Amino acid sequence: MSSPASHPLDDGRTTSSALITALRGQRPERTPVWFMRQAGRSLPEYRALRVGTSMLDACLNPELASEITLQPVRRHRVDAAVFFSDIVIPLRLAGVPVEIVAGRGPVLETPIRTASDILRLRPIDPAALDPIREGVARTVAELDGTPLIGFAGAPFTLASYLVEGGPSKDQQRARSLMVSDPHAWAQLLNWCADVSGAFLRAQVEAGASAVQLFDSWVGSLSRHDYQRRVAPHSRRTLSALRGLDVPIIHFGVGSGEVLDLMAGIGADAVGVDWRIPLDEASRRLGGNVVVQGNIDPAWLGAPWDKLQAHVLDVLERGKSAPAHVVNLGHGVPPDTDPEVLTRIVGLVHEASVGALVA
């Protein structure tokens, strides 16, 4: 890009959008809604574009990544776009051989398990982030007033893929390294924090108006270990955003025991999974933290009247927080009927301006 455009949070394009208003702790006229994994296999237009391109190659193709990011915004009229990428992209950009296997997730040829493996990890060359910057800039140029959310994986979730070599049930090898070699663990999590931090900062500088830190597997940790051995590194990831006044959402699955700690590392909002009702989450958060969530993804296939009652219940419970961003409790399952997502967006928008009596 020869002359970078000004940032949407600076020139006012997204400043008073429903999402940014809510993340700043105020109640917008209409409750914002977006979906984790809104771009992806639930959309036939996504499946068509992806033919012949691997997942991570698609992420690093700015034109493709931008188009895939825009697809769900056009289709569902959600209140935010989320940049099409993956939490393992920073690993790839730092030279770690990683692939995404369909139906399974990220897989590494050679897991990182010893102190000497960890010492060999290199930082990201800033130029390697160019496709990310370009993908974000292209997307933001098309979005007008709709904010783009950038994201990254939190150090624990990333480290669990590195140590396990792929998806795992309880992240046992990773948690075992945490106790058996705390020094190597801290080095590994710092490295993860730094590559994720660079990835986040590149997205915000190129025009993202908010970010979400995904600590998807945080639910396998005890509160004590999260607090002592993980949270400081997540905080370090966010320190990469210093000086950029961008709202931060912090999300985890099975995070009920650590919600307050997740807010405490400097997040503006906490993403809650489907296990805890939002009024209970809000109580655990002390009543002064913005919440995001938490439609149960399993309900997306239920008859509409049941799903509608569930969504209205989520909206009602979300009133216990200073502001609420509607989302699912985790990502959109690939077999979801996309019409259902569009219908939820309509319902949330209507119900939250009072047009629909619950």
CB of 86 to ligand CP3, least distance (A): 4
Stretch 222-241 residues interacting with ligand CP3 (CB under 6 A): none
Using CB atoms within 10 Å of the CB of residue 120, give its burial: 0 to 12 exposed, 13 to 18 middle, 19+ buried.
Answer: exposed
Regarding 52 and contact with ligand CP3 (CB under 6 A), the answer is no
CB of 140 to ligand CP3, least distance (A): 15
Regarding 290 and contact with ligand CP3 (CB under 6 A), the answer is no
**40 vs 277 by CB, closer to ligand CP3:** 40
CB of 98 to ligand CP3, least distance (A): 10
In angstroms, the CA 66 to CA 82 distance is 10
Stretch 56-85 residues interacting with ligand CP3 (CB under 6 A): 82, 84
In angstroms, the CA 259 to CA 215 distance is 12
In angstroms, the CA 162 to CA 155 distance is 10
| One of 271, 293, 331, 338 touching ligand CP3 (CB under 6 A) | 331
Give the residue from 283, 145, 152 showing the smallest Cα distance to 214. 152
Regarding 44 and contact with ligand CP3 (CB under 6 A), the answer is no
182 contacts 230 by C-beta, under 8 angstroms:
no
92 catalytic per annotation = no
| One of 27, 30, 37, 275 touching ligand CP3 (CB under 6 A) | 37
Regarding 86 and contact with ligand CP3 (CB under 6 A), the answer is yes
Give the residue from 95, 235, 217, 203 showing the smallest Cα distance to 166. 217
In angstroms, the CA 85 to CA 88 distance is 9
50 catalytic per annotation = yes
| 17-25, 30-38, 181-189, 289-297 -> range binding ligand CP3 (CB under 6 A) | 30-38
In angstroms, the CA 106 to CA 117 distance is 19
| 20-28, 100-108, 140-148, 291-299 -> range binding ligand CP3 (CB under 6 A) | 100-108
- Length of the chain (residues): 358
337 catalytic per annotation = no
Regarding 135 and contact with ligand CP3 (CB under 6 A), the answer is no
In angstroms, the CA 291 to CA 323 distance is 7
**12 vs 105 by CB, closer to ligand CP3:** 105
* Residue 279: C-alpha distances to residues 55, 102, 285, 298 (Å): 37, 36, 10, 20
| One of 18, 22, 36, 198 touching ligand CP3 (CB under 6 A) | 36
In angstroms, the CA 23 to CA 324 distance is 8
144 catalytic per annotation = no
Write the DSSP symbol of residue 220: G
CB of 39 to ligand CP3, least distance (A): 4
54 contacts 88 by C-beta, under 8 angstroms:
no
* Binding letters toward ligand CP3, positions 237-276, x by CB under 6 A: ----------------------------------------
| Sign, CA torsion 76/274/172/258 | positive
333 contacts 274 by C-beta, under 8 angstroms:
no
37 catalytic per annotation = yes
Regarding 344 and contact with ligand CP3 (CB under 6 A), the answer is no
Report CA dihedral (164, 158, 271, 213) to the nearest 10 degrees.
180
CB of 265 to ligand CP3, least distance (A): 17
Catalytically annotated residue among 50, 283, 284, 343:
50
Catalytically annotated residue among 13, 92, 113, 161:
161
Single-letter residue type at 116: S
| One of 185, 191, 199, 214 touching ligand CP3 (CB under 6 A) | 214
Q: What positions carry a catalytic annotation? A: 37, 41, 50, 86, 161
Binding site for ligand CP3 (CB under 6 A): 36-41, 50, 55, 82, 84, 86-87, 100, 102-106, 151, 214, 216, 331
